[in-house]
């Protein structure tokens, strides 16, 4: 089995999990989820990079904000204890008129894609995202480092739905793996 590194957009994973759970996130173990996907292509996970952001905290946090942060911190501590190793990469959450948005996560993911691709011993990367912002870096690492990029994705095959997938992202990846509900099972 060839070794691979798995990059997970935590927001996208949560979105998929809630879809399969009919509005409630499925209980799952991220490391088992990643291993289940990698097995589809007979790959072995060397390590996982998980991109997320801690919940928003106002300058004087409410009880609800404190509870959300405490739950998040417990979740992150559990992730740090599993094998294969999960590298937690945190952006931040910004509050705006439209709600809340993660900031800095895409930049962290882009930096890590480049750094890991420069290592000669990795020939495969799996990326769980639907974001076309990664097309340029995927194109570069495929060309400059001969790394095979596998897109883990989900679609409900409805045009203009929340799960629409860009043809540009689809075309730039070497291979694709459709996320199935059973991948969440441990």
The terminus-to-terminus CA distance of the chain in angstroms comes to: 21
Domain housing 58: 2-184
Tokens 């989820």 belong to residue: 33
Residue 70 CB partners (closer than 8 Å, separation 6+): none
* Domains contained in the chain, number: 1
The CATH number covering residue 121 comes to 3.40.50.1010
**pLDDT, tens digit, 9 for 90 and up, residues 92-114:** 988 888 888 888 899 999 999 99
- pTM for the model stands at 0.92
Q: How far apart are CA 3 and CA 43, in angstroms?
A: 6
**pLDDT, tens digit, 9 for 90 and up, residues 36-68:** 999 999 999 999 999 999 999 888 999 999 999
């Amino acid at each position: 089995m060839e070794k691979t590194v798995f990059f997970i957009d935590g927001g996208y994973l949560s979105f998929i999990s809630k879809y399969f759970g009919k509005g409630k996130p499925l209980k799952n173990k991220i490391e088992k989820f990643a291993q289940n996907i990698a097995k589809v292509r007979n790959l072995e996970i060397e390590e996982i990079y998980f991109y997320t952001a801690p919940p928003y905290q106002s300058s004087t946090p409410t009880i609800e904000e404190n509870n959300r942060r405490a739950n998040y911190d417990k979740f992150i501590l559990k992730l740090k204890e599993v094998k294969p190793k999960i590298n937690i990469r945190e952006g931040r959450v910004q509050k705006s008129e439209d709600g809340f948005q993660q900031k800095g996560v895409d930049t962290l993911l882009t930096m890590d894609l480049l750094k890991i691709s420069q290592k000669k011993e990795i020939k495969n990367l799996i990326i769980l995202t639907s974001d076309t912002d990664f097309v340029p870096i995927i194109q570069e690492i495929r060309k400059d480092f001969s790394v095979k990029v596998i897109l883990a994705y989900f679609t409900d095959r409805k045009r203009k739905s929340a799960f629409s997938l860009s043809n540009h992202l689809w075309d730039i990846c070497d291979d694709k793996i459709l996320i199935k509900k059973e991948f969440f099972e441990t």
